Structures are given as structure tokens and as C-alpha cells.
A and B are shown apart, each in its own frame.
Chain A
Amino acid sequence: MSRAAALLLVLLALLAAFPAFASSYLLSVVTLILFFAYAGQAWNVMMGFAGQLSLGHSLYVGVGAYAAAILFTRYGIGPWAGVWVSIGVCALLGAAIGFLAFRFGISGVYFALLTIAFAEFTRIGFDHLAITGGPGGLFLKVSQRDSWDLLNLRGPPEMFYYVILALAAGAFLLCRALLGSRAGYYWRAIRENEEAAQALGINTFRWKLLAVMLSAAMTSVAGVFNAFYYNNLFPEQIFHISRSIEIILGPVIGGVGTLFGPVIGAALLTSLADAITEALAALGWEVPGVKQVFYGFVLFAVVMFLPNGIWPAIARRLGVSR
């Protein structure tokens, strides 16, 4: 067994045992970390593997969340069926955006701005749709919090913790498998040099489209989790560009294109944000904005001095492969 695999197993065992000794506050923090680790992994498929920069991933979180939540609240269809609808809708959405963009030869900055435009367009659209509840929001019934109702995803925080842990672990394994597959090699060829990849006979259009669809589908599941965990949805929040940025932060800070990057990045950023909150509270300096200013400076320092992210630096120390 390789060192990386051993490391991973230890980490997984620790995370599985975590709720037994953690406070409910810590549990919520780690749930958030796993959420961003999962969503970051999904984004990484598109950017880290295939080199297509999306700055509008909140689109898939939002549409995925709304699809499952509307099915659940209006038609009584549970999340395990709803999630497939979310996946399908978002994969189609990703396919449509990818098809349009790649057919018309849009890439780089223009592609990134296109993804923002679609997310913003949808945000304002959802504000004006009756079925989504508009700007007033959509609410899921908060019922019993003490017993596990896994079928309807209603239950205590521990249940959500294990759900997102399973998702994050699953996404990690999926991405690992993808990297070793034909698709993974094609994607990286496209990322490094699209023209050369094309010259080698790779149908770059089709493989880029696949990356967008897969990334969108994975992100939509994060949306479903988001809807059932928080029980409320507002277009203003879930489609907001700051949500897209939050998703991207983890993998960029951790290391774009790596498997551990999104996990490490999410863990670091979420705990950093919390540490800053705690420290400021201890100092009695709780003015709105202070925390984000600190956060901004740390972000600034990391992108400035660790251009490849944190994980590649750590990996070298540990002697494990990236």
C-alpha cells in the first residue's frame, strides 16, 4: 500500500469517528469543510483536469438545489429520486453551455465570463419565477431533528455529516479513477495544449463537453445537500457570484488539478475563517468586515507566494505523489 493510500485511510477513519467526540459546533465546521471539499473536487474536474475555467459554478449548486427542493416540497418526491433529476438537469445545462461555448470557439477569459453571465442570468430569473418562491425564498419543512430519516434526508446534524463525508470520499475516489482513465489523460492533454491534443486525434470538443457535464452533475449533488441541510433557498444567496468564488477558493488554494488540493484548501480556508472569527470575538473586536479583510489578506498572500497551491508543497515534504 502506498503512503498516500495509508494516509488517506487514517484520515478517513479519523473522520468517521469524529462525531463521537466532537462538539456540535465542530461538527458543523467539519461538515462545511467537507461540503467545500466536495464542491471543489467537482469544480476541479472542469478546471484542474480539463483546463476550462468556470467562475459560475453557483449555477449548478443553485439549479440542483432548487430542482430537488421543488420536487420535495411541491410534489413530495424524496431527495434520492430528486437528486437524479438535479443531476440530469445540471448535466444538460452544462452540456448546453459547453456546446454553445465550444462550438463558437469561446475559451479562456471569455469562457469564464460566459459562465458568470449564465449564473447571474439564472439568479435574476429565479427571483422572478413563481415556482421557486422568488426572492422570498423556498423553505423545506424542518421536522424531527433527533431520529435519522435517511430516505427523506431529515435528521440530526450527524446524519448530514456522514452524508457529506460519503460524498466527499466518493468524489475523491471518482476523481482518482478519472485521472488514471483515458478521459483523465485526454483532459490533461487538452489542458496543457489543446491544439497538440487535437493534432493527436483527440476530439477535444467532445472531451471538454464531458468534463463540463460531469463537473456540473457532481456540483448539482452539492446543491441538493445544501438544500436539505440548510432547509432554505434564496436565489440571491445560492446563485450569487460569491458562492462560485467560495467553491473555487479551496482547490485554488490547495492546488488546482490535484486530488488532495480541494480537500486541504477547503479545510484550511474554513478553519481559517473560523479561527479569525474566534480570535476577533476574543479580542472583542466584532465589527462587520474585519474578518473578511483578514481573509482577503491571507488569500492574497497564498496566491502571491504559493502559485501552485499548498498541496504540491506539502506533497513534496511527505514524499507522496501529487
Chain B
Amino acid sequence: MSWDLVANVAIAGILTGLVYGLMALGLSVIFGVVRVVNFAHGEMMTAAMYAAVVLFSAFGLDPFLATVPVAAAFFVLGYALQAGVINPFITRPEHSQFMLLVAVATILVNALLLGFGPDARNVQVDYQLESFAVGRLLIDKARVFAALLAVVASAGLFAFFRFTLAGKAIRACADNYLGALVVGLNVKHLYALTFGLGAACVAIAGCMMVLLVDVTPVLGPSYTLLAFVIVIVGGLGSMSGALLGGVLIGLSEAMAGLLIQPSAKSMFSFGLLILVLLFRPQGLLGRKSP
């Protein structure tokens, strides 16, 4: 096995990992603020991938341009889901929230199955077959662009939470629910806003992911699990942790696929998850929970 090959695979893994990271960022933001684990996260991801496929096949819209309408639509849907359905559940026990989101996930997966059938779909654009040659390395163009957009979108989200009033208000809700209520913040609205933003992250990640893999409805649950692994490894509720976790998992998946067996790659991820949960349950970059 040559070092070129290893380096190529590692770089591809890191780039894919950044897209994973953006997906997981959505989950992490939602959990960090609303304290509800979105068990329908991967299903939302596949829905976004299908949205990109449909826009491409119907209007020839490039997945990069599709991110704008898909993210907008997902923001609205996410807002509505939180405001209409999940808000009443925030004080209910975890298993009740879990069941609710399992129901949402079931509906989503099977609606996709109904609409598109079980066969794999994809998009085909010119730059998918092109690559940048850096020395002796060949790096897929599509992967580079996807990773770049993932980084830009994450940076945008960071900036939103850091600099805007709404972002600061959301962080206040996350820090102290009661305090936020006392100072007169509209917590329900801010929760819905957060869920909408999380959904928009997933939407962008989904549009990018169709450039890298084919989509089938059954991908949903495995993306949900993948997102869990990433955010736990990075730190549930930590934004930079989600990106770091994404890169780590992307890299480890790629290396496990190359060095061990492609089918065993997620065993490695789950092993990592178990170790992190046991020895550093707050995740690599997470704060210790109170």
C-alpha cells in the first residue's frame, strides 16, 4: 500500500467528515438549546438529499445552488415542527420525546420510500469527475467544494450565535431556561428558531452529500446514528466539537475502510463512541455538564 493512496483516502475522509460535521452541528445545536435529542436527524438529512436530487432532475439546479431553497424550506419546516409539535414535549420525559421523534422519523423514511421507491438516486454534474492535482495527490473537486461550503455554513452559524442579538438570546435560553423566561425572552420562539437553524444545517449538509454518495430512503437511520456518534465524540451541545467529531469520524471511517474492511468501518466509530462515553462523557470539546 503506497503512502499516496493512504494520503488520498485520508484527505477524502477529512473532507467528507466536514460535511458530516455540518450535519452533526445541527443535532448538537438542537440538543444544546432545546435539550431534545433529534432522533429524526438522519431522516431529515435524507429528505434534504432527495430535495436536492429533485431540484437537479426537474430544473437542472446544481446542488450548490439548491442549498439556498432547500435550507430555506427546511428552516421553515424545522421551525414549524418545533413550534407545533416538539415544544409541548420539552418538559416530558425522555422516552416520550424519543417516541415522538421516532414517529416523525418513521413517517419521513416511509414517505420518501413512497415518493421515490427503494432505488438509489444521485445527481451527475461535471465537476464530480474532476480533481485537483496537488503534487502526487488527486483530490476530488466535488469533495473540496462540499467541504468548503460546510465550513462556510458552520462559520455562519458560529457568527450568528456569537454576534447577533437573536443568537445571544438563544444562548441565554440554553444557559438558563428560567432566567431567560424571567427577563422576558420568548423562549418558545427561540427554541423554534434553533430547531429551524439545525434543520437548515442538515439541509445544506444533505445537498452536499448527494454529490458524494447515492441516496436511498433507508440511509436515514444510519445517518441518525452517525450524527449521534459525532456529537457525542465531539461533545453534545458543543459547536466546534461537532465539526471536530465529524472530521475524526470521517477520517476513521475512511481509514478503517482502507485498512480493515469497509463493512466494519462503523464498528470502529461505535467503539470510539463507547470509549468516549465512558471516559469523557462530555465529549472531546464539551463542557462538563452541571
Q: Point out residues on A near B: beta carbons under 8 Å.
A: 47, 53, 55, 100-101, 104-106, 108-110, 112-114, 116-118, 120-121, 124-125, 127-128, 135, 241-242, 245, 248-249, 252, 256, 287-293, 295-297, 299-300, 303-304, 307
Contact = CB atoms under 8 A, between A and B. Distances in A.
16 contacts: A53-B94, A104-B279, A109-B37, A110-B236, A116-B225, A127-B264, A241-B221, A256-B95, A288-B118, A289-B111, A296-B103, A296-B104, A296-B106, A297-B103, A300-B100, A300-B103
A311 B256 CA distance: 48
A48 B228 CA distance: 25
Nearest to B116: A289
Chain A interface mostly: helix
Interface in B63-115: 85, 88, 92, 94-96, 98-100, 102-107, 109-114
A300 B107 contact: yes
Contact of B263 (A128, A288, A304): A128
B55 interface: no
Interface residues of B, number: 44
A287 B114 contact: yes
A121 B264 CA distance: 10
B18 to A, nearest CB: 23
Given A116-B225, A125-B267, A296 B37 contact: no
A128 B56 CA distance: 38
Nearest to B273: A117
A118 B270 CA distance: 8
Given A116-B228, A248-B99, A296-B103, A124 B111 contact: no
Closest CB pairs A-B (n = 4) = A289-B113, A296-B106, A296-B107, A124-B267
B60 interface: no
B278 A307 contact: no
Contacts of B196: none
A110 B96 CA distance: 16
B274 A114 contact: yes
B2 interface: no
Given A113-B228, A242-B221, A293-B114, A303 B277 contact: no
